[in-house]
């Protein structure tokens, strides 16, 4: 917002020794020096005023002398108060009772040599041919005196005398002007220094995340027959790698499920020259020929299923306490059967594991073909894919023409295929 039209300067007057006036204009860079004006025989003379314990004192150059006291000055000096006065034996002090918003200007000190710059917004403070001038870099201390604009002769009073300067030294001295544009750099009015905008209200917290997208929560079993072409599907591989397996066995083994007289049996399949080959163990025997129909576990892609697979030691997933990892299993009255990779004489092979009874509801219902998998806990584990009987702590795998069995504590270190629900998902 522009300033209003500038008003007249304000001068106030008080007798020498009277209380120091309000709102005096301080000289640039000086702690106790103010702009003063005195008339001698109708001729204006600028000088300095100061506050001496709350009492007004002043000094003016006149001819070769310094005039300071009431006797010298006729008893009074006058301070600027935006009114016209006709003074002869009265002194004045410049005042600034407002700001640029009310008076339309502010006082600025500039070097004398810059007086012709920005004249459209700067007005020199002067009375007749006299204007205040500050000898700021004086070695003995700064002085405010008067400059005769007609002769460019500056006069400064001190120590009872008047010292005069002219010409080049005046260029770096300071004069006071009325600046009609904006306010001073230190102005803190609401125009120059508007209050900060109100603090915006806090952003509402983000809404709680919605439910995760629907994902598959059951295992995917594919129906095959031994001798079928090897499927172009990502099957569940024993511990996710090529095994250091029993001599004569294919080291790339995949989880398979077979039923013999209604009993679920976990075993393994492998790619035999592009055909599905399988091996299962049941009642001490190995079944490789005439296996017929079987199922293989498909490893669904991560973005489809709401759970993760992991091979965990029997001791981690076969206890009675709450478990993070739950065995992949098929329930049967004789035991809960899970895929298991066993280590037999230092070699790995996939088979099955059987578990002891677990706490009810520890495992989800799993639907494998037409058989319902119940909440009781048992599990099958193998290293050649081998099955684990979780209910009975038994693990076995078919190789070398028979079912090879581990029972009791040796089962605890065998690796069982498990699942864990992802965050936001749960098994029904």
| Overall average pLDDT of the 24-37 stretch | 95
Which DSSP string corresponds to 205-236? PPPPP-PPPP-B-S-EEEEEETTSBPPSS-B-
Is residue 107 very low, low, confident or very high in pLDDT (cuts 50, 70, 90)? very high
Per-residue burial over 196-224, b if 16 or more Cβ lie within 10 Å, else e, is eeeeeeeeeeeeeeeeeeebebbbebeeb
Per-residue burial over 160-192, b if 16 or more Cβ lie within 10 Å, else e, is eebbebeeeebeebbbbbbbbebbeeeeeeeeb
Within a domain: 125: yes
Residues 247 and 112 in one domain: no
Structure tokens at 160: 């009872």
Within a domain: 208: no
Q: How far apart are CA 413 and CA 428, in angstroms?
A: 29
Residues 187 and 250 in one domain: no
The H or E element that residue 396 is part of is strand 394-399
Within a domain: 260: yes
What residues have CB less than 8 Å from 168, skipping those under 6 apart? none
CB atoms within 10 A of CB 297: 24
Within a domain: 221: yes
If phi > 0 it is left, if psi is from -120 to 50 it is alpha, else beta; for residue 128 that is left
Within a domain: 202: no
Residues 222 and 126 in one domain: no
User: Please, what is the Cα angle at 308 between 305 and 314, to 5 degrees?
Assistant: 140
Residues 129 and 250 in one domain: no
| Overall average pLDDT of the 258-265 stretch | 92
Q: What is the pLDDT of residues 371-381, one digit of tens each?
A: 223 223 333 33
Q: For residue 142, give its domain range.
A: 1-195
Residues 84 and 56 in one domain: yes
Within a domain: 205: no
Q: How far apart are CA 426 and CA 219, in angstroms?
A: 14
What's the pLDDT score for residue 363? 40
Residues 242 and 109 in one domain: no
368 within 8 A of 334, measured Cβ to Cβ: no
Residues 174 and 114 in one domain: yes
Q: What is the pLDDT of residues 223-243, one digit of tens each?
A: 999 999 999 999 999 999 999
Residue 289, CB-side half-sphere exposure with 13 Å CA sphere? 2
What's the pLDDT score for residue 325? 92
What residues have CB less than 8 Å from 148, skipping those under 6 apart? 129, 130, 154, 155
Residues 233 and 377 in one domain: yes
Residues 266 and 180 in one domain: no
Residues 294 and 408 in one domain: yes
Given 195, 224, 251, the domain boundary residue is 195
Within a domain: 201: no
Cα distances from 158 to residues 59, 301, 359, in angstroms, run 8, 97, 106
* Beta strand pairing call for 385-389 and 394-399: antiparallel
Q: What percentage of the chain exceeds 90 in pLDDT? A: 69
What's the pLDDT score for residue 90? 61
Per-residue burial over 49-67, b if 16 or more Cβ lie within 10 Å, else e, is bbbeeeebbbbbbbeeebb
Is 316 or 362 the better-scoring residue by pLDDT?
316
Q: What is the pLDDT of residues 343-355, one digit of tens each?
A: 999 999 999 988 7
Q: How far apart are CA 292 and CA 350, in angstroms?
A: 19
Within a domain: 361: yes
* Beta strand pairing call for 385-389 and 347-355: parallel
Is 234 or 408 the better-scoring residue by pLDDT?
234
pTM for this structure? Answer: 0.50
What residues have CB less than 8 Å from 98, skipping those under 6 apart? none
Residues 58 and 181 in one domain: yes
Instruction: Give the bridge partners for 298, in sequence order.
Output: 220, 235
Q: How far apart are CA 82 and CA 9, in angstroms?
A: 4
Sign of CA dihedral 143, 144, 148, 152: positive
Report the candidate in 143, 347, 339 with the shortest Cα–Cα distance to residue 237. Answer: 339
If phi > 0 it is left, if psi is from -120 to 50 it is alpha, else beta; for residue 83 that is beta
Tally the residues of the chain: 428
Sign of CA dihedral 161, 166, 168, 172: positive
Is 163 or 42 the better-scoring residue by pLDDT?
163
Residues 376 and 343 in one domain: yes
Structure tokens at 241: 């790698």
The domain tally of the chain equals 2
Is 99 or 289 the better-scoring residue by pLDDT?
99
Is 5 or 14 the better-scoring residue by pLDDT?
5
What's the pLDDT score for residue 320? 60
Q: What is the pLDDT of residues 55-98, one digit of tens each?
A: 999 999 999 999 886 555 554 444 433 333 333 346 799 999 99
């Amino acid at each position: 917002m522009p300033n209003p039209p500038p008003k007249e300067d304000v001068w106030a007057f008080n007798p020498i020794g009277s209380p120091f006036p309000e709102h005096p204009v301080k000289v640039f860079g000086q702690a106790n020096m103010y702009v003063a004006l005195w008339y001698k025989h109708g001729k204006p003379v600028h000088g300095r005023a100061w506050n001496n314990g709350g009492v007004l004192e002043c000094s003016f150059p006149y001819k070769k002398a310094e005039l300071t006291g009431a006797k010298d000055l006729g008893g009074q000096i006058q301070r600027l108060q935006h009114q016209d006065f006709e003074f002869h034996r009265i002194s004045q002090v410049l005042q600034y009772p407002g700001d640029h918003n009310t008076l339309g200007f502010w006082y600025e000190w500039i070097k004398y040599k810059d007086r012709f710059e920005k004249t459209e917004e700067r007005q020199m403070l002067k009375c007749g041919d006299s204007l205040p001038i500050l000898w700021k870099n004086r070695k003995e201390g700064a002085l405010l005196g008067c400059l005769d604009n007609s002769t460019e002769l500056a006069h400064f009073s001190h120590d009872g005398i008047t010292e005069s300067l002219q010409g080049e030294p005046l260029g770096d001295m300071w004069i006071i002007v009325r600046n009609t544009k904006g306010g001073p750099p230190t102005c803190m009015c609401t125009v120059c220094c508007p209050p900060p905008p109100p603090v915006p209200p806090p952003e509402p917290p983000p809404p709680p995340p919605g439910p995760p997208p629907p994902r598959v929560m059951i295992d995917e079993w594919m129906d095959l027959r031994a001798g079928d072409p090897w499927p172009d599907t990502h099957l569940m591989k024993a511990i996710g790698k090529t095994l250091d397996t029993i001599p004569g066995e294919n080291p790339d083994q995949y989880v398979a499920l077979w039923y013999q007289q209604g009993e679920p049996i976990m075993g393994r399949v492998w790619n035999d020259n592009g055909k599905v080959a399988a091996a299962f163990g049941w009642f001490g025997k190995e079944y490789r020929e005439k296996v017929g129909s079987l199922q293989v576990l498909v490893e669904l892609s991560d973005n489809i299923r709401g759970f993760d697979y992991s091979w965990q030691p029997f001791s981690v997933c076969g206890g009675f306490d709450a478990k993070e990892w739950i065995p992949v299993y098929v329930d049967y009255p004789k035991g809960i059967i899970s895929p298991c990779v066993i280590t037999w004489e230092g070699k790995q092979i996939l088979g099955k594991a059987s578990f002891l009874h677990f706490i009810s509801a520890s495992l989800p219902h799993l639907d494998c073909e037409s058989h319902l998998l119940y909440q009781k806990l048992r599990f099958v584990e193998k290293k050649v894919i081998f099955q684990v009987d979780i209910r009975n702590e038994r693990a076995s795998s078919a190789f070398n023409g028979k079912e090879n069995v581990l029972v009791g504590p040796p089962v605890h270190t065998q690796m069982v295929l498990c699942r864990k629900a992802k965050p936001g998902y749960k098994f029904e």
